[in-house]
Every structure is written in structure tokens, then in C-alpha cells.
Chain A
């Protein structure tokens, strides 16, 4: 009995007017019945186009079939075969441009809610199944992982299961990378991330926080300490600036600083917690990606009256997940598209206004998107008191600058062999945003898995 509805089974979301005042999760997820109904929309296509759209080739029709049959744990096992962080990916993958973009059901109507189902299955497992650490026989080899974002976590998990003694070194006081300090609680509850990390610890992975590799130990010293291989998953933490006047005025944040204060340091609970944040009444967020959406929605939740997203191209080109753009609008974020900041104006050292020039779209550029061109004389200024810059990040140069012979691109990305993840130094592998520049959770995870496989081959050889 299949479900022929053109639309996805609706998913419960909290009222925008209520949720934009707190940090609790926005999307509440499917019930068992809803999940089964949605699963029945899947046609079980023989040629499995959806699987091709997933960077880690989750066995989509197979797990969905199990969901439709009510075998949720079976579905979980199926997803886990290729994806080690389903509760995270189900929530944050840009499904509309990956798995769901290829779904046959999407030709006429909406695609199957693959992400929603993946999330349901992972949440169901977390709630109902006690994780039993399986006996793993250690093989006597040690691997060091630098960074505990999705790339590091998945690499660590795969290696630990193969019997390696794995230690993750993390610069911050909490493991999880962007999942902890970047993506806000209302989109990805932190207890989910912590649970994943607990699971890794249960299979023997050691997590050493407060360890800035390159400072406290160099990569070379990790080998001296007895590690047989190293994986670098240090992410893309270096914030970009616009290089326009006024960027150092008080009230101008990078999204990294703004979100770290909120997510990692829990500034939204100030003064219960000790880290303060200044939000202001009128906030301008520059950029059109997930980071910009998260910053804007966080600012709104912290009490800003008006929050603007200022983006230089049109909405079509916005790199943010469709769902988040939609959520942001629902929550009252004002979109100023085709606008580009030219300067930030101050008064007594504090932000007072932002001047933008209007843009129009010209011919496609190298990225394939139409190039935005300023319209001369169209400058206008907008009164605001806070600016959040969310125009991108590049890999942090700290490891590169302290590691001899580690080859990187001019823009900072570590150069690897695409097939294996091997860097220019034998025994040193890398993956995730540190290699690609700011990308996605699932790509970082996939890179961690690829490196784990290569490290295994390298060490048993």
C-alpha cells in the first residue's frame, strides 16, 4: 500500500513567533506513524538515483523500506553502514541539492523526505536502543586525529572499530568542531553531538581537549610520541573580512566570534554563564550561507528587533539550505538581496549604520553563478548597531605554519591525493574543511572515512 501524495508528510515545527525567542529545536521530527507514511512514498527505484546524490551513498531505498515495515533498528543499521552521524546529517545535510535532488518523486511533486526519515531513524535509535560497546581487539597501532569536527570524528570511529588505538586532539575545551561551536542548538541540539562523542569513547577513542596541535605538540612530535599515523581534520576556522572601512568598529563581529560566544560559551544564558554578548536592536548579517542564516536567527533569538541578511547576489544563488532560508523568513529575518556593503559607519567608535550599493546580475562567473555588478550611484545607508560578517572562512594556517613539508594551496587548503586523503608527508592524512575550504558536514565525514581506509591500508602494509 503505497502513499501517492505529491507532498511530503508534514513535519511538526514550532510556531515561528514562539521559537524565535528561544534556542530550543525548531523541527520536532516525525512520529513513528508519520515516518511509515512518508517511507511509503518511496518507489524503491531499481536504478537508485537518490543514492548517487548522497556523498556517502547511504542505502536510501533499503533503509526506507525497513522504515515502512516498522523495523526502525534495522533501518538504523542500514544507514550506519555508510554514515556514522545520521542524527546530524538528517538535520543539516543540504538534501535539496544532494539525495533528494535526484529523487524520482521530485519530478512531479515533492521528493521523498529522505533527510527527515534519516533523522527519525537516528533519533528513534538514540531513544530506544542501549548502545552496546562491541568487543574490539586492539591491533597495537596508534593513530592521532587533529580536530574533532565531523571529519575527525568519523575517521576516529572507523579506525577504532578496526582495532586502532585512536586519540583525538582538540583545541577547544569541548569536542565536536563546528557541530558544537557553529551550528546553533535550535538546529542541532548539542546533546546529539555529545552522544556521538560518548559512543566513540565507549569504543575506546581517547579525546584530549585543550590541545592546540602546532603549539603544544607539532605533527612531527606526535610521531615521536609513538603515533603511527596522523589525520588532520582541523577545519576552516579562519574568518574572512570584507576589507571595507569600519570593520573594526565596536559592534562588528565575525560570525565565528558571534556563534562561538553563543553556542560554545552559552552567552545566551548570560549572566548564568560568564561570557557576554552584545546583540543590539538592529543587526545586519552579511552573507547568504548557512553561517549567515544561523547568525541572523541567533541574533533574533537574543532579542534584536530587526535583523537583516545582506547578500550581494539573488536568493537563487544563496548557498544556504533552502529549509533554513525558509525558516529564517518565517522567523521575521528581513532579506536584502542584491546589496553589497561598501562601508560601515560609526559614532564614538560604535557601529551606527551600514552603507550598501545595489547590485545587478551579469554574466555567469567561474562558480557558474551570475556575477553581481554594482549599480553606480545606488548607495544607501541603513541604520543598524551590530554587524555580523559571515562571508566565509578558509583553513587556519596554524598547522601549516608549524609543519615542515606540508603542502598547501595558496588559499590555505591542504593538498591531498583525492583517492586516499594522503598529504605530502608520509603517514599524514587530511580531510574535511581543512582540505576543501568551508563545505558540508557530510563531505567532511566522507573524507574522514576515506582517510581511515587509507590509513588502515598504509599501516597494515
Chain B
């Protein structure tokens, strides 16, 4: 059992929890994730390690309540425990040796991108963070990003805060203005990562994206997380989740991500009317 030490509500649907898992905290690196199961009949779901504290032995997860498991998780309070918590899984992001990096986060992807921005900053890179949200009430991780970025740009789809429009527009503008990035990291919805990758390809800037596929084991056993990268089958859980954005087959990934849409809607519905493990 893994105890929730601290819980924060970041916006109406995004919560963050600091979980006591000393062995994982000791090894965790930016880019890695954990898989958890809330209760005995629960599903295994992957969540990125959005921060860790080796001294306190804690790992922070930040999640958006989109379906049954994330909602159940969101209902747990400080002091309560999560049944299973395994990690750190996946490869650590390779962040050494860059001078100037644009870190792009879409919605919840902002929390996932934060540890990367932090590590790059600590390694001495100039970090420009460009993060986008649907509206100003959904903004998360602004303060944290300010601390580890040389510049932070916030966009909202409706213009309720910052730049109106998409992160890719801001990135393009910054590049056009002469910013010479040697790396772009894009984390968020698949469509956002696709658009950013297409843009940076034009400019020939190396781009890393983080693939959030459907996963079960997280150890390379089931093949459910497979993505096509450069024409080859890769497993996001062990070969990733970071991949070269210019090589990822996004259209296939979007299709595979929707595989369980109907079942999820059904399960979540049951959860709401109270039959689920409430």
C-alpha cells in the first residue's frame, strides 16, 4: 500500500498527489512514469512522475479526471492509500547537452513536461516554456514553470488569459523571431504533438514527444502500447514513452487510443451511478 502524503486540487479536474514510495523516488528520472491500481477490481493506469523527492521518499503524480480510474483516484484523500504503485517505468528523457530548449505542454501535458523543464534548467539550458489551456481556469503549474524557465508563454484557446490560440503558433513566432532552439519537447494531446512535430520538421529542430498509449503491464509484455516509429513497432512502456516526433505515426496512435472508448463510457457511467467501487 502506498500512502498519499499530500493532495492538491489544481483546477476543477486536475489533482496532484504526493505518494510515499521511497524505492521509486530513489530511482525516478524525468520522463518516467508509474502504473497504479486504486483497488482490488481496478484497472492499471499509467501516470507520469511529475516530480519526486528522494529525501522524503515521495513521488508526485498529477492527473486529469477523465474516466473511472482517475475519478476514483481523485476521491482519495491525504492519509489514504493506493493499492498498487509500480515504477519507475519507461526510459528517462535524454536531456544532456542542450543549450536552448522549447518545452511545450498542452493542458495536463504541462504537468508531465514540468520535470523535463526542471532538469534542463538544472543542467544549465535556456528554457522557454510554452503551455496551452482551453481557458484560464484550467491553468496549472504556472508557478512551478516560472521557477525553472527563462520565459513562460501561456496560451488559451479562448484568449481568457495570455495569447489566444495554440502553442504551435507561439512556437512558430518564437522561431521566426530568431530563437535558435536545439531541442523541442512537446507533451500533450496527440493532435498537438503532431502539429508541433510537423512544424519543427520544417525548421529541422529535433523534437521529442511523449506517447501516452494504452498500457497494461508497462514492462514490454503485452504489446498493447505499441506505436509505429520510423516504420518499426516500438513499445511505449519500455522503448519510450519519449520518441522522436518526426518519426512517430500519429494517425495510427490516435486511432489506437480510441480503442476502448465505448467501454470506458459505459464503465464510467456505472461508476457515476454508484455501482462502481465507490
Contacts and interface: CB of A to CB of B under 8 A. Distances in A.
A260 B216 contact: yes
A110 to B, nearest CB: 38
A248 to B, nearest CB: 6
Interface in A393-411: 396-398
Interface string B21-50: 001100100000000010001111000000
Contact of A254 (B23, B85, B223): B223
B62 interface: no
Q: How large is the interface on B (under 10, 10 to 19, 20 to 34, 35 or more residues)?
A: 35 or more
Interface stretch (A29-37, A97-105, A211-219, A328-336): A211-219
Contact of B87 (A215, A250, A272): A215
A210 B224 CA distance: 19
Interface stretch (A197-205, A263-271, A376-384, A436-444): A263-271
A250 B258 CA distance: 9
Contacts of B95: none
B45 to A, nearest CB: 9
Interface string B86-130: 111100000000000000000000000000000000000000000
Interface in B218-233: 218-224, 226, 228, 233
B66 interface: no
A250 B267 contact: no
A276 B255 contact: no
A238 B221 contact: yes
Main secondary structure of the interface of A (DSSP, over half): loop
Contacts of B255: 250, 349
A274 interface: yes
A253 B221 CA distance: 12
Contact of A265 (B43, B223, B270, B276): B43
B261 to A, nearest CB: 10
Contact of A261 (B27, B216, B218, B226): B216
A274 B223 contact: no
A396 B256 CA distance: 24
Interface in A139-188: 171-173
B267 A216 contact: no
Interface string A238-263: 11010000011010011011001100
B238 interface: yes
A250 B226 CA distance: 11
A326 interface: no
B223 A239 contact: yes
Contacts of A398: 219-220, 238
B41 A266 contact: yes
Contacts of B259: 250, 278
A177 to B, nearest CB: 11
A274 B42 contact: yes
Interface residues of A, number: 38
A215 B88 contact: yes
A275 interface: yes
B256 A237 contact: no
A396 B238 CA distance: 10
Interface string B221-260: 1111010100001000010000000000000100110111
A57 interface: no
A208 to B, nearest CB: 10
B86 A276 contact: no
A321 B216 CA distance: 28
Contact of B220 (A211, A248, A276, A397): A397
A128 interface: no
A274 B221 contact: no
Point out which of B87, B216, B218 has the most chain A C-beta atoms below 10 A from its C-beta: B216
Contacts of A265: 43-44, 216
B175 to A, nearest CB: 33
Interface in A270-293: 270-276, 278
Interface in A283-319: none
Interface string B164-207: 00000000000000000000000000000000000000000000
A234 B87 CA distance: 17
A216 B26 CA distance: 8
A269 B270 CA distance: 14
B54 to A, nearest CB: 13
A254 B43 contact: no
Interface of B: 23-24, 27, 37, 41-44, 68-69, 83-89, 216-224, 226, 228, 233, 238, 252, 255-256, 258-260, 263-264, 266-267, 270, 275-277
Given A239-B221, A253-B224, A274-B43, 5 more contacts: A173-B83, A216-B27, A265-B43, A271-B267, A271-B276
Interface of A: 171-173, 209-212, 215-217, 237-239, 241, 247-248, 250, 253-254, 256-257, 260-261, 265-266, 269-276, 278, 349, 396-398
28 contacts: A171-B86, A171-B217, A171-B219, A172-B217, A210-B85, A212-B89, A215-B88, A215-B89, A216-B27, A237-B221, A241-B223, A248-B252, A253-B223, A254-B223, A254-B224, A256-B222, A256-B223, A257-B222, A257-B224, A271-B270, A273-B43, A274-B42, A274-B68, A274-B69, A274-B267, A276-B264, A278-B259, A398-B220
Minimum-distance CB pairs A-B, first 5: A276-B263, A257-B222, A237-B221, A210-B86, A274-B43
